[in-house]
Every structure is written in C-alpha cells, then in structure tokens.
Structure 1
Amino acid sequence: MIPVLSAFPWLAAASLASGVVSLGFMRYLWPYRDRLGGRFFLATIGCEALWSLSYGLALFVFDPALREAFEVPIWTAINFIGVFFLAFALEYTGRGHLLRSKAMGSVVALQVLHTLLVVTNPLHRIAWSDYAVEPTYGLATVVYAHQPWLFVNAAGFILMIAVASFLLADTVFSYGPLYRTQAAAIAVSPIFPGVPFLLWLAEVGATPPLNLTPLLFPVHLAFDMYAFFSRDMFEMVPAARRVADRAAIDNLGSAVVIVDSGRRIIECNDEAGRLLGTARSDALGRRLETHLDDVDLDGDNEPITRRRAGGKRTYAVATSPLTDATGAAVGDTIVFQDITEERRREQRLAVLNRVLRHNLRNDLNVVSGYLEMAEARVDDEDVRRMLDVAAENTAGVVELGEKARYIERALDAGVDDPDPVELRPLLEEITEGLSETEPDAGGRSETEPAAEITVDVDDDVTVRAAPSLLEAVFENLLENAIEHDPSETPTVTVRTAEDEAEPGFLAVEVADDGPGIPEHELAVLDETGETALEHGSGLGLWIVTWGVDSLGGAVDFEVGASGTNVVLRLPTASETAGSRGDGVAERDNP
C-alpha cells in the first residue's frame, strides 16, 4: 500500500461521500414522492444513506462497545432496504394492491424481528459473537463470528432485492420499449453493491473485515439517476400500463377469455365468468372445453347462444392468436360480444320491412286500381280532383316504398370490396336519363327539357367504390336538385373541386341554381331519428349521406342565395374507409 493512501482514511471518506451523494439524490427526488413508487424509492435511497454514513463514521470508532452500537443503524438500513425496494417495485409495476396483503405484512414483521435481534444481540449473541475491533489501514474495522441467524437475516434481504429486480425485469420484457430502459437500469443497479455484500458475508477476500458495499452505492445510484433524469422514471410509470391492461379487459363490456397453448384458461374478466356460468377464480386453470366446447380457435365461429339470468343471450365470437416476442404462438384471446339486442332489432326490422313493403305495395296497388275505376265513373269535377290527388299520393307512397327497396339493395352492395370506377362515364349515363323530357315533371311540359346538367370531369378520373352504390348517390343527388327547382329548366353542374380535395380523396362538387335545401331537412341528417314536427320530405338526402359514408368518404352541404353546393369527398386510393385520413374520418355530415 502506498504510504499516503494507507495514511488517508479513504474507505471511510468514500463511504461518507456515498452517503452524501445519496442524500443529494433524495433532495432531487423529493418533489416526486407522491408519484407511484416515489415514497418507497426515497426510503430505499434513505436506507442506503443511513448505511453509508453509519459505516463511514463507525470506521473512526475504536471503542469495541461503541463500535458495536454502530451495527444497529447499519443493520437496520440493511434490513429495510429490501423492504422498501420490494415495495417500490410492486407499486411501480402496478402491483400496489400487494402492499396491503398478508404476505407483505409478514415480510415487514420478519424484518422488524431481525432488527430487534440485532439491537438485543449483546444479550443473546444470536446474530453474531466474538465481536472485536481489528484496525485495518488505520480504521476501526471489525471481525465477528457470523451466527446462523445472521445468514437468515441476510438471505431475506437478498431475496427481497432479487424479487424486486425480477419484477422490474419482467417489465422490461413485457411492456416493450416504452418502459424498458428505466426499468432495466433500476433492475440492474442492485447488482453492484450486492456482489461485495455477498463477498463480505462469505468472508471472501484478502481482508475479510472490509465491507465495500457502501463504496459501490454511487455506481448503483448512477443507474438510478440515469433512469430518473434521462428516462423520465416517474413520468412514464409501468403501473399505468399494467392497470390499463387490466382495465381494458375488465371495462371492455364484452366477455374476454385468454387461453394458453394448452387451451387452459389463464385469464378472463367478470363478464366472461357470467358467460361461463362460474366465478372468474374458479374458471382459471380449467380447459376451455369445460365451459365452451363449441368455440373453434382455428376457424370462423358462428354466434353462440347461452341462457343466463334474464333470458337467452346471443354472442358473436372473435378469436385472435397470442404470440411472444419471437412470433411463437403462446395462446389465444377470445372475445364474446353480446349481440342479442342487435339480432332482435335486425329480426324485427326485417319482419316489419318485409310485411310493410309487401303488404303496403299490394294494398296500395289495389287502392290505385279502384281510384282509376272510380275516376272513370265519376262526372263531378270536384270529386275527380279529389280522386286525382288521392291517386297521386297513392302513387307517391308506392314509389317511396320502391325507393326504400332500391336504397336497401344499393347499401348492401356497398359492403363489397370497392372497385376502380371511371367517374365520367357513370355521370354521363345518369345525366342522360335525367336530361331527357319528362311529362309533368315539376310543372314542366312534355316538350321542354327536364334539366340542363353539365359534367365537368376529366376522362381519367377514377374513384374506388361499389359502382351501384356510387350510381345511387349521384342519381339521388341530381334528382333532388332537379325535382326541387321550380324553374322551367333547372341547371346542375358536376365538377371536380381541386381546392376541396384531401390526400387520397377526390372532391366532386354538385352545384344547382335552385332555392336550396331547407335547413330543417339538413338538420335531420345529423339526428339519430326523425320527429313528427321536423322531418325530411324524402329519402334522397339519406341515401346520399348513408352512401357516401359507406364508400368511406364525406359530404358537405352548403346552401346559399344562388343555390346549393354539395361537395363529395370520395376515396381514390386502394385503402378502404378504415384507413382514410383523419381530416375526412372526423368530418361531420352534413
């Protein structure tokens, strides 16, 4: 040993410096004491400070009795470092509920017992014996015989540190890069002071009396500081992710069952327990077939029906495989969505739709026939006019029913995969029929043109859509513009609007010079239903809004003094509606 170094109390100075660094770190951590894990992490660093400062001061005390008294704060710090670090790991990783468990209470009680035995060791010598001061490098190092209880004490301390490090390491592997760096830094940091402590406990080394553990605390703190200052240790807490994962299952509203590769239930929520007909805790560990033998994890599943309190319920079944980081299959997630009310509504609507459409059409056709016969046999002009009005209204209702059937078919076609559709030929085909003469259309004579429609769209303009649904949208939009224009020759222009376009979408503007769509009819399109006092006069605007939405686009209505401008945004790229841009996806209709 170099004389200068042997004369200088470097071990004591390093231990005291380590304590000062720990206290300084605690000062920076203090504002974060109320964060998840913050108070326990502070307590852990506090115990390290107590250990380092007590050991550093003890090295200057050569009186055996007083020197032995310094073992009390040293071992108190050792005993409770493990407790606080374990508590930190539990709360930091989202397992805070375990802090109030009987197991954690037993751990704390055991460490209190260890501390009491250390305090009273001079009376019974259970922890150590033959305590003596043996100066080393001019410092009051000690030697004593390690009794079995001391190893039990140390083993508990090491075990708690190991469990806490495992919990943090589990965060590294479970939650990906979001929490990986800070959790890894904190999990690895106990290794550096842990190794010299084990060497001291096993009395390995050239100078067994020297316990170098406090000297390695700065290395341990360096990792902790890195996690705190560089990785936002208390800003991104894994507990939030763990709680979110649990809440995502519990609050989903649907039954969720997770099975391993052996088809054993390893997780489920309370809703799944009600579906399975057993408590959640009783379902865990059982094979899926015990409760659900009609679920195929490898294929498509038809809806299943189960009887529960309150009646029969129907569930749609969706399965998805679970894979680990290497891509290997480790299990499956099964989601059971209660579609009972949806099925009932669909069934009721189907029955009402079929009955009303069929019976209404047949009965009204009979009424229309009798009205024609009655009109032919009546000479009174007033009665004839009344019969004409009745016949006209009857024909309008029949036409409305047919239009509803047409809308249903068009919307059903819209669920198919979209195809590239050349827009100009489609528009020209629609406008050709609408521009021809129509007898008694809006008061216009048979010899006058029904409308003047201009198509200003390039030949190469293509959108992706179901052709029949796209045709229905434009046909109803143009019909609406013509029918509600009282002028002799309504004028409608269809053109592309480059300034209204968005990435991946084509903007098409339909402008007319009519009186404009009434405000109450546009307002209805925003509502979930129609009321008796405020309703639309027909189905044309509904198919425009429903149709464009089904195509994955958006529609805006602008009514001014010179007429109505309707801007349609239709997808041009291969992506479907689910991948459209945010600007269109969040646009309200109208």
Structure 2
Amino acid sequence: MPNLTASPQDIIRIAGTVIVLALAFVTVRHRRESGAWAVTGLLVSIAVWLGSSVLSAASGQSPQAVVWGKLLYTAAPFVVLFLFLFVLRYTGNDEYITPRTLALLAIEPAVVTVAVWTNQFHHLFWRDLQFVSGGYWHFQMTMGPVFHANVAYSYLLVLVGIGLVVRLLQVSQSLYPGQVYAVLAAILAPFVTDLVRQFGDLPISLTPVAFTFSGLVVTMAIFRFKLLDISPVAQDSVVENIRDGLFVLDRDDEFVEINSVAREYLDLEAEQVVGRSFADVLTDYPELFDEFADETDKESEVRVRTADSERFFHVQVTPLTDHRDELIGRQFLIHDVTERVARKRELERQNEQLDRFASVVSHDLRNPLNVASGRVELLREEIDDQHGHVDAIQQSHYRMERLIDDMLTLARDGQTISETERVSLPSVANAAWENVTTRDATLTLGTALSLEADEARLCRLFENLFRNAVEHSSTAPQSQAPEDAVERGSTSLTIEIGALTGPADRRPVGFYVADDGPGIPPEQRDRVLEDGFTTDDDGTGLGLSIVASIVDAHGWTIDVTESDQGGARFEIRDVTSARQAERAAEHSS
C-alpha cells in the first residue's frame, strides 16, 4: 500500500524538490550565459534525486518504490557530474570541457545507470533489499561493489572540485570573494552530510537538506554575486589583457586587483600591492594620491615625477557598486600620455618659434621695403617715366608687401586651434566680403548654418577665397596698386556660399564656396592648395595655401571641384555644426 504518512524527511524532500525545480526554471532563463547549462543540469538532477526519494517513500512496500529508488540512484552520479563540470568552467578550466572529456566523464554515470536498472540479473549495485518501518515504510539495501565504486568515484570528483575552488581563492584576488565562497559551500554541504550518512549514525539523512542548500546557494550567487555574468578567472583575464593600466580598490581603499600595465607604470610588484592601502602603495606618487584620494567619479591628467623621470597619465576613476547600489570599491583606468604631452609641448614651442620668426622677418623686411617705396615715389616726381619702369618697380614693391603679409598669415593660421566658438557662417562671410574689394561681384548666401570655429581664421579663409575668385575672373590689364588687382574682377561674377549635407539624414556636414568664373582646370586642382603654386605672374601663390592651413588647423577637409556654372568650387567638410556640438555636450554630461 502507498505510504500516506509524511515523515519530516519527506517534507524536507518535497520542499527541496519544489525549490530546486523553481531554481532550475530561473537558470534556464540564463541559458545563454557561460556555465548556465551546467547549473541547470545540476539543479534538474537534484530535483530528480529528491523527487524520486519522496515518491519511493510514498509508495510504501509496492514495486513502484523500487522503481523510484532506481531512479534516485540513477540521478545521483549526474548530480556529481554536473557539479564537477560547473566547477571546471567556473574555475577557468574550460579547455577540459571538450566532447572527448564529456564522453569520458559520462561513462561512469552510464555504467551506474545500466547497473541499477539491471541489478536483478547480477546484484552488483545492491545485493539485498528489504522494507522496514520506522514510522513510515522505506527499504534498506546491502550495497554491492558498483555502488561503492560509484561512491569512491563521486568523492574523487568532489574533492577535485573542492581543490580547484580553494586554489582559485588563493590565486585570485576577486572583487566578489562571496561568489567563490558560495560555490565552495555548495560543494561542501552535500559532501560533508553524505560522509556523515556513510560513516555516522544519524536517525535521518541530511543529504536532502544539503542538496537543497546547494541549489539555493548557487542560485543566490547567480543574482547576488553575478555568478553567471563573470567568474573570477574571466575577470582576471579581462583585467590583465586591458592595454591601459588598471587597478581596483575595495571599500577599505585596499588594492584587490592590479594589472601588469599599471604595475609597470608605477614600478610595482604584484606581491607588493594586493592587500595594501591606496595611501601606502602611492607613497612615492603624492600627485596621484592627492588628486584621487577621496574621488569616486573623476577624470583628469596627472603629472607624476620620480627621481629620474617625469610622466603624464590620463586617469579615470569610476565607482564600483553591489546589487544594492552601495559602494564596494573604485576602479582606476590609467593611460600613459607622456608622449602626447611631449609632442604638444614641442608643437607649441615650434609654433612660438615660427611666430617669432615670422614677426622678425616681417619687421626686418618691411623697413627696407618702406624705404624703397618712398624712394620710388621721389623718383617718380623727378623723372619722366615714359616707359613705365617706375610703375613696374612700385608694382614689385606692392607684390613683396603682399607676400610678406601672406607669409605671416600662413605661419600663424596654420597653428592648431585649441578653442572654438559658435559662429554664424553668413555673418562671418559678410564680414569677410566687406574686407575685400570686390567691385561689382555679387555674394549669394544660401545657408544660415552656425558652426564651431575660430571666427578670425574663418573670416580670413573667406577673404582669401573671395579674393582668389575675383582676381582669377579678371580680364582687365594690370594696374598700379594691389587694390586694382581686385578691381579687375568681372562685373558679372557671382560667388555663392551654401551648406553641404549628408546623403542619409541631410544634416549639415560642411559648406562650399562656388563662383561662376573661369574655374580651375582639372589637372591643376590637386596643386592649387600647395604653397607657392600660382598661374598669375603677380600672385604670391599663398592665398589658397592659407585657406588649406586654416582648414587643417580646424581638423576639416577641403576638396577643389567645379561649380554648376563651370567655375571653381571649394568644399569644406567634417565641420561640426553648433547643433551637433550641443548634442555632443549634452550626451557627454
């Protein structure tokens, strides 16, 4: 007859079965996580073990009790197998989880399964079975050699698993030590209780309680300690393979992680760091300690000086929190920017030197040039210049003065721009138009674009493009003053400024300056932006070179092509509009 009286042990087993099945369902939802399959297999095997135990006890002395007992002993080796596979993955020994290894590990559970279900023919798993009543019916067995071999094999796998986890505790300075201890507890609990059952003398078996405890602990570790998100071994691998320096402090400001790059930066050894305080380790680096001693979310550049060197680091510190959003530590990411700072300093030094050189040259050349121009005017008053020689000399003086101005502008406008501001493209273009003598040329503005730029340099960019368009549309003979060179422009010349948009979202990506003049021959378009290139005997060859240097200084790009009217068209791209800059600032904040 079925046994309808539930013992305390049965109640524990029923509750354990329900709990473990629920936990198995939860882990199935994490099946894509590394190691989730092993946890799910472990929990399902435990549920089968516990459920079979309950059903066997509930079946009383009926033959079904033996069937459920066989299922119980079939599930037991699979519990150990999945537990061992999970430990292999968790401790970073994934290379052993291969089809060959799985096949070898499955041999023992398969042998046990066959031995259990065919025991009536050979009696190798149990030799004798009898029903006894101790308040409820259950059966007792005299176990055979296959059972004892299974126990020994299971203990061996469990002991290896315990050894792997203990070794992990020794070699890994994990941010989540509770995670490792939880796994260790999940292995030890059923192992210890089964030892007590095998060699002790308890009235009831605590193994069902231990298995339920193991399932609870593993599942708790999944959510509380992120068991399936990242293991200590995976965490160590990530930390060590980051190209930048990285170290981690716990809630007590003691080092728990530091990779080889950070150790090299700070000239430290791992054994000298882990477990020591932030202040103690950074005794030789007061600048770094003072900057970040109490910071949990900060990013800045720090100069670190030692007895024989000076280095610059870009340091970013971020908070580390637990599942309750409570601070458990800080993470420091360090990037060596010493070379970048050195290049920046050298570039600044070269720019200053170039600026001084250009100023000196400009000053030293202008003085004799002014004297020569004055002498030419006196000479004009004293002689009759029928052949225009005096005019030719003065024109050369004007060209030299223009050349000096362009050289000075080129030297200064080519320097890197560190700060920009929001400027209106039409406003800057109109201001530049007023600075250039354009005679009857017309400016058409087809955009209201605002962008981030250096307003003064953008103005000079437009001035040089306008001047280039006017001068190269000229058909009149040369005149005596530089202003006359501009006034030679055709009265029909039209210069247009418009926005360049992206092909997909139609957002502004730049602007263009086009005219309806004679244009630039295709074979010359790749050279017109070079220093000194000109097709005009009176030109300096620096006007468009200045344009290119201003574009480069902003980080933009420029292309020379043909306008719709057959004239020249200059397209400036990679421009950051004011709206894009605002969105970027909002995103970064």
Common fold by TM > 0.5: yes
Aligned to 2:571: 566
Shift of 1:337: 1.9
Q: Take 1:511 and 1:532, find their aligned partners in 2: how far apart are those partners? A: 20
**Residue 292 (structure 1) shift:** 0.5
Is the CA contact 2:431–2:459 (under 8 Å) kept in the aligned structure 1?
Answer: no
Q: Deviations over 1:53-88 (max 9, x none)?
A: 343345455999x94xx8xxxxxxxxxxxxxxxxxx
Cα distance change, pair 172–277 in 1 and its aligned pair in 2 (3 A): closer
User: Per-residue deviation at 1:294?
Assistant: 2.5
* In 1: Cα distance, 2:580 partner to 2:450 partner: 11
Cα distance in 1, alignment partners of residues 401 and 577 from structure 2: 37
Q: Is the 2:499–2:508 Cα contact (8 Å) retained in structure 1?
A: no
- The answer on whether the counterparts of 1:316 and 1:336 sit within 8 Å (CA) in structure 2 is yes
For the residue of structure 2 that corresponds to 1:575, the secondary structure is: helix
In structure 1, the residue corresponding to 2:286 is in which secondary structure?
Answer: coil
Equivalent residue number for residue 441 of structure 1: none
Deviation at 1:18, TM superposition (A): 8.2
SS of structure 2 residue aligned to 1:415: coil
Unpaired runs of 5+ in structure 1? Answer: 25-31, 71-131, 175-182, 224-232, 438-448, 582-590
The 8 Å contact of residues 364 and 394 in structure 1, kept in 2 or not, is answered as: no
Letter in 1 for 2:403: V
Residue from 56, 61, 67 that aligns with 2:113: 56
Q: 2:284 aligns to what?
A: 291
Deviation at 1:512, TM superposition (A): 1.5
Q: 1:548 to 1:324 in 2, by over 3 A?
A: same
Matched residues in 2 for 1:473 and 1:21: separation?
77
Cα 1:201–1:323, aligned 2, differ >3 Å: closer, same or farther? same
Q: CA deviation at 1:331?
A: 3.1
Q: Distance in 2 between matches of 1:263 and 1:346?
A: 40
- Do the aligned partners of 2:249 and 2:257 also contact (CA within 8 Å) in 1? yes
**Structure 2 Cα separation of the partners of residues 536 and 518 of structure 1:** 18
> What is the distance in 2 between the residues matched to 1:242 and 1:307?
32
**Contact persistence 1:258–1:332 (CA under 8 A):** yes
Partner of 1:355: 356
**Partner Cα distance (2:78, 2:256) in 1:** 48
The within-5 A match list for 1:263-342 is: 267-268=257-258, 270=260, 272-273=262-263, 275-277=265-267, 279=269, 281-282=271-272, 285=276, 287-295=280-288, 296-298=290-292, 303-306=303-306, 308=308, 312-325=309-322, 326=325, 328=327, 330-331=329-330, 333=332, 334-339=334-339, 341-342=342-343
Moved more, 337-346 or 38-47: 38-47
Aligned partners of 1:531, 1:415: CA distance in 2, in Å?
A: 29
Amino acid at match of 2:442: E
Distance (Å, rounded) in 2 between the aligned partners of 1:373 and 1:263: 77
- Aligned position for 2:69: 11
Query: Counterpart in 1 of 2:97?
Result: 40
Are the structure 2 counterparts of residues 520 and 243 from structure 1 closer, same or farther at C-alpha, using a change threshold of 3 Å?
A: farther
- After superposition, where does 1:14-163 map in structure 2 within 5 Å? 15-16=73-74, 37=94, 39-40=96-97, 45-46=102-103, 49-59=106-116, 67=124, 134-135=128-129, 141=143, 156-157=159-160, 159-160=162-163
CA distance in 2, matches of 1:321, 1:20: 43
Q: Is the 8 A contact 1:462 1:572 kept in 2?
A: yes
- Report deviation, 1:274: 5.1
Q: How does 1:116-265 map to 2 (within 5 A)?
A: 134-135=128-129, 141=143, 156-157=159-160, 159-160=162-163, 198-203=192-197, 243-248=237-242, 251-252=243-244
Letter in 1 for 2:315: A
Q: Deviations over 1:108-143 (max 9, x none)?
A: xxxxxxxxxxxxxxxxxxxxxxxx955355965369
For 2:257 and 2:195, the matched residues in 1 are separated by: 42
Q: What is the match of residue 73 of structure 1?
A: none
Instruction: Tell me which residue corresponds to 2:430.
Output: 428
Residue 372 of structure 2 corresponds to which residue in structure 1? 371
Give, as a single letter, the amino acid of the residue that structure 2 aligns with 1:491.
Answer: T
Q: What's the CA shift string for 1:266-305, capped at 9, x where partnerless?
A: 5555555555455565455462442202233248666344
Cα separation, 1, equivalents of 2:176 and 2:161: 23
Q: Contact between 1:268 and 1:280, CA under 8 Å: does it hold in 2?
A: yes
Uncovered stretches (5+) of structure 2, i.e. residues with no partner: 1-58, 83-88, 131-138, 220-227, 476-488, 535-540
Distance 1:23 1:266 in 2: 33
- Residues 9 and 358 (structure 1), Cα distance of their counterparts in 2 relative to 1, 3 Å cut: same
**Which position in structure 2 is the counterpart of 1:415?**
419
TM superposition shift of 1:578: 5.7
1:342 to partner: Cα distance: 1.3
Matched residue type, 2:426: R
Q: C-alpha separation between the residues in 2 aligned to 1:162 and 1:269?
A: 22
1:293 counterpart letter in structure 2:
P
Residue 291 to residue 266, structure 1, CA distance change in 2 (3 Å): farther
Give, in whole Å, the separation in 1 of the partners of 2:81 and 2:255: 48
Q: Distance in 1 between matches of 2:103 and 2:532?
A: 69
Give the CA deviation at 1:361: 1.2
Aligned length: 449
Contact 1:504–1:571 under 8 Å retained in 2 = no
Q: Which residue number in structure 1 is paired with residue 547 of structure 2?
A: 541
Match of 2:470 in 1: 482
The structure number with the bigger radius of gyration is 2
Equivalent position of 1:120 in the other structure: none
Greater shift in the superposed pair: 375-384 or 394-403: 375-384
The percent of aligned pairs where both chains have the same amino acid is: 13
Q: Is the 8 A contact 2:494 2:515 kept in 1?
A: yes
Give distance in 1, aligned partners of 2:79 and 2:207: 19
Q: In structure 2, what is the equivalent of residue 398 of structure 1?
A: 404
Letter in 2 for 1:434: V
Distance 2:73 2:526 in 1: 76
Aligned residue identity for 1:294: E
The alignment partner of 1:297 has SS state of helix
Shift of 1:357: 1.8
Q: Which residue of 2 aligns with 1:445?
A: none
For residue 360 of structure 1, give the secondary structure of its aligned residue in structure 2.
helix
Q: Distance in 2 between matches of 1:279 and 1:170?
A: 15
Residue 403 of structure 1 and its aligned partner are, at CA, apart by 1.6
Q: Distance in 1 between matches of 2:78 and 2:249?
A: 51
Q: CA deviation at 1:516?
A: 4.2
State whether residues 414 and 550 of structure 2, in contact with CA within 8 Å, keep that contact through their aligned partners in structure 1.
Answer: no
The whole-number CA distance in structure 2 between the counterparts of 1:19 and 1:150 is 9
TM-score (normalizing by structure 1):
0.56
Determine the C-alpha separation between the residues in 1 that align with 2:522 and 2:238: 44
Kept in 1, the 8 Å contact 2:499–2:510? The answer is yes
Check the 8 A contact 2:173/2:256 in 1, yes or no: no
Query: 1:513 aligned to 2:516?
Result: yes
8 Å contact kept, 2:424–2:451: yes
| Counterpart AA for 2:319 | L
Alpha-carbon separation, structure 2, partners of 1:462 and 1:480: 24
Instruction: State the 1:160 CA deviation.
Output: 3.9
What is the RMSD of the two structures over their aligned residues, measured on CA atoms? 5.9
Q: Once the 2 structures are TM-superposed, how far is the Cα of residue 356 of structure 1 from its aligned partner?
A: 0.9
**Contact conserved, 1:430 with 1:471, CA < 8 A, in 2?**
yes
